[in-house]
Amino acid sequence: MFFLESRSNKSGGLNIGLMGGTFDPIHMGHLVTAEEARQQFDLDYVIFVPAGIPPHKDEAAISLPEHRYLMTSLAVMSNPSFFVSRMEIDQEQPTYTIDTVRHFACGNEPGPEIFFITGADAILEIFTWKDYEDLLRLCTFIAVSRPGYSLDRFYESLDRSCPDMRHKVHLLEIPALAVSSTFIRERVALSKTIKYLTPEPVEQYIRKHGLYKSGG
């Protein structure tokens, strides 16, 4: 549980950004995204939530949760508005965003407004997520993409499934998202430099623990 100091707010509560992702590894694109979302959506804090066992992924294909948590912690340590949660990585069973959002939506009074930030490609699949209608009621989504992405077809599906919910999904275009975790893993496997693609402590962590040597 996070106990966050209440700093501002129109409705008396906090605006909390939950940055959801696998972060295997975290990179500059994620950090630029979180900072841009913080400013554009007037967020008091951004809490990075590395995914535990994602329900839609092969567990063996991703790095250990503890590695992803520690790399994320190293990456955010210099930003006073950024935090990292162990909420998902400490679960032994697959984790669902609805449980994470419910966790952060209660316990802080007055109730915070939750913004769930993640890749637009992931949000396109939201109709397959557990309790997605409740999720859309409980939080606002920030769908992140590189410039030129369109959510038009997604909004058409949203109109059919959940009318009047367009205002709950915003597109945030981030040029720095040309960097991706896949790109970094591939470069490490080819012994290519990843300098300036991820913070230096993360780069050192990857080298020290021999992560991504076999690609993937």
Binding site for ligand NAP (CB under 6 A): 19-22, 30, 33, 51, 54-57, 96-97, 117-119, 121-122, 129-130, 144, 180-182
| Contact between 23 and 33 (Cβ < 8 Å) | no
| CA dist., res. 119 & res. 145, Å (int) | 6
- CA R_g for the chain: 17
Nearer to ligand NAP, 44 or 88 (CB): 88
Nearest approach in angstroms of CB 183 to ligand NAP is 8
| First-residue to last-residue Cα distance in the chain | 33
- Closest approach, Cβ 73 to ligand NAP, in A, equals 15
Q: Do 212 and 185 form a contact (C-beta atoms < 8 A)?
A: yes
Least distance CB 2 / ligand NAP (angstroms): 17
Residue nearer to ligand NAP on the CB measure, 35 or 42: 35
Name the residue among 121, 104, 120 with its Cα closest to residue 44: 104
Angle between the 65-76 and 200-208 helix axes, to the nearest 10 degrees? Answer: 150
Q: Which is nearer to ligand NAP, 45 or 96 (CB)?
A: 96
Both structure tokens of 212: 């991504």
Residue with the closest Cβ to ligand NAP? 119
Shortest Å, Cβ 38 to ligand NAP: 13
Minimum distance, C-beta of residue 138 to ligand NAP, in the bound complex (Å): 12
Which amino acid would we find at residue 175?
P
Which own/partner contact pairs does 210-216 have at CB distance under 8 Å and 24+ positions apart?
211/25, 211/63, 211/67, 212/25, 212/63, 212/184, 212/185, 212/188, 213/188, 213/189, 214/189, 215/185, 215/186, 215/189, 215/190, 216/61, 216/185, 216/189
Least distance to ligand NAP, CB of residue 159, Å: 21
Name the token pair of 183. 């790109």
